[in-house]
Amino acid sequence: MLQIQELLSGNIPLLYAFDEKPLCVDCGLMDYQKALSLQLELHEHVANEELPALLLLCEHPPVITLGLHAPHNQLLCSKEQLEAMDIHVVPTRRGGGSTAHNPGQLVLYPIMKLSAFGFRIATFVHAIEQLGMQVLKKTEVSSMRKARYPGLWVGDKKIASLGTQIKQGVSMHGIAINLYNDLTLFDYIVPCGIEGVQMTNVIREGGKHIPMEQLKDIVQSNWTSMCLRQKHSNET
């Protein structure tokens, strides 16, 4: 897996330019605004075919983000109160509504030209959810999809939030999987604008604690094989 320092240095091995596999990049703990700016920059390079498909793996310091669906952006306290607690509120152009990120949550940002792998938007979203399900399965937590509600659920509790943006046929944003994070941050919002929804994580569900680095390796392996299967099935 490529480290973020290698990507930012510009010294990406030439073979990646001719490799059909998506390139996974470990960003570690990264400020959300910095990660958003990085996505925008990389999106342009991928759209111009100057970089291969990318999957960024991140954790973020505490932050609340808003989506394009204004009715689903619901804060339960003022932005000023949140800023006083050093919790920034960041508007984005992804789908969905308000959500929260903090350490212990694994966030995956695929930046890829969907047509290059034969993805339609629906199959792309399905693939991202499947990737999250595989991560949670490793922790012995069984998750599921719920019709009309993107993301992953354990019964009626939400364990992963999903919101994407497709521009010039290239994806941005992605899925946030609650592993070992402090869930109290979600008390300041109505997650995804769904009244009464309860958030959960691997700890609350009694799952197995797997080191984050091991889970990132699982993500890399599963995402690579998933994308290549999709690409090859589309070519046959």
Is the pLDDT confidence value at 163 over 80?
yes
DSSP symbols for 117-149:
GT--HHHHHHHHHHHHHHHHHHTT---EEETTE
- Compute CA 201 distance to the chain's CA centroid, rounded to the nearest angstrom: 15
Sign of CA dihedral 119, 217, 12, 103: positive
**Looking at per-residue confidence, does 194 or 188 come out higher?**
188
Q: pTM for this one?
A: 0.92
- pLDDT, residue 17, reads 45
Q: Mean pLDDT score of the chain, rounded to an integer?
A: 90
Amino acid letter for position 99: T
- The domains of the chain are located at 2-231
- pLDDT, residue 9, reads 64
User: In percent, how much of the chain has pLDDT > 70?
Assistant: 90
Q: State the Cα–Cα distance between residues 152 and 180, nearest whole angstrom.
A: 16
Catalytic residues: 192
- pLDDT, residue 13, reads 46
| pLDDT tens readout for residues 104-149 | 999 999 999 999 888 999 999 999 999 999 999 999 999 999 988 9
CATH number (3.30.930.10, 3.90.190.10, 3.40.50.10470, 3.40.50.360) of 2-231 reads: 3.30.930.10
As a whole number, mean pLDDT of residues 6-18 equals: 53
